[in-house]
Chain A
Amino acid sequence: GENVEQHPSTLSVQEGDSAVIKCTYSDSASNYFPWYKQELGKGPQLIIDIRSNVGEKKDQRIAVTLNKTAKHFSLHITETQPEDSAVYFCAASDGGSQGNLIFGKGTKLSVKP
């Protein structure tokens, strides 16, 4: 089955700096890779996703890159702000008919003002 590894587990940056979170997956059949942001006391919310026919996707300060050959994908947040502080999860679809999501362990991002 699919296995997703996520690094780092914690990340602290200064406001305005960039933050990068990396994930690797094991199942070459996986073809959908969402990123979720979870704030304290809330459920995870989708912030960006990418499908395997695309190498990069941007949405304002957030971008995701995918390297299918190496089976890794990354989240890039530029010009970080204190409100970006949260736990970020990557996930990969297991490629089955249900497309069940397998999640990484999460990265706790702290943005210091």
Chain B
Amino acid sequence: ETGVTQTPRHLVMGMTNKKSLKCEQHLGHNAMYWYKQSAKKPLELMFVYSLEERVENNSVPSRFSPECPNSSHLFLHLHTLQPEDSALYLCASSMGGGNTEAFFGQGTRLTVV
């Protein structure tokens, strides 16, 4: 248990659906991240929030929409996804400010059909 909780653990959605992934941390961290993990690819950083402000968006398609209502919660809203978006989506948190340990959740395994 790392202190970062993601729900749901598994999600199957059609290309026309709208769904949301949720991440929660109670570690007192200031920064939260979304990563995408696909087979045979490095972990890809998607979004970074620091003190609830989005500080980075790594050219992610607009069908992925993040939301950080407070420093403990992070959401990833999904709509009109493509089959190639199927992957493990990992949330992480850290103290931020650079060079600090990132704690990961267990991920949401997303399948787009």
Contact = CB atoms under 8 A, between A and B. Distances in A.
A98 B42 contact: no
A99 B107 contact: no
Nearest to B109: A41
A51 B99 contact: yes
A102 B102 CA distance: 12
A106 B42 contact: yes
A69 B92 CA distance: 30
Interface string A64-80: 00000000000000000
Given A32-B99, A49-B101, A101 B4 contact: no
Interface in B87-103: 90, 92, 94, 96-103
Size bracket of the B interface: 20 to 34
B28 to A, nearest CB: 17
Contacts of B11: none
B55 interface: yes
Nearest to B94: A99
19 contacts: A31-B99, A32-B98, A32-B99, A34-B101, A42-B106, A43-B2, A43-B104, A44-B43, A45-B2, A46-B101, A49-B101, A51-B99, A93-B99, A98-B31, A98-B48, A98-B50, A98-B56, A101-B102, A106-B42
List the 9 shortest-distance A-B pairs measured between CB atoms, nearest first. A99-B98, A43-B104, A32-B99, A103-B43, A103-B42, A99-B99, A43-B106, A105-B42, A44-B104
Interface of A: 4, 31-32, 34, 36, 41-46, 49, 51, 89, 93, 95-106
Interface of B: 2, 4, 6, 31, 33, 40-43, 45, 48, 50, 55-56, 90, 92, 94, 96-107
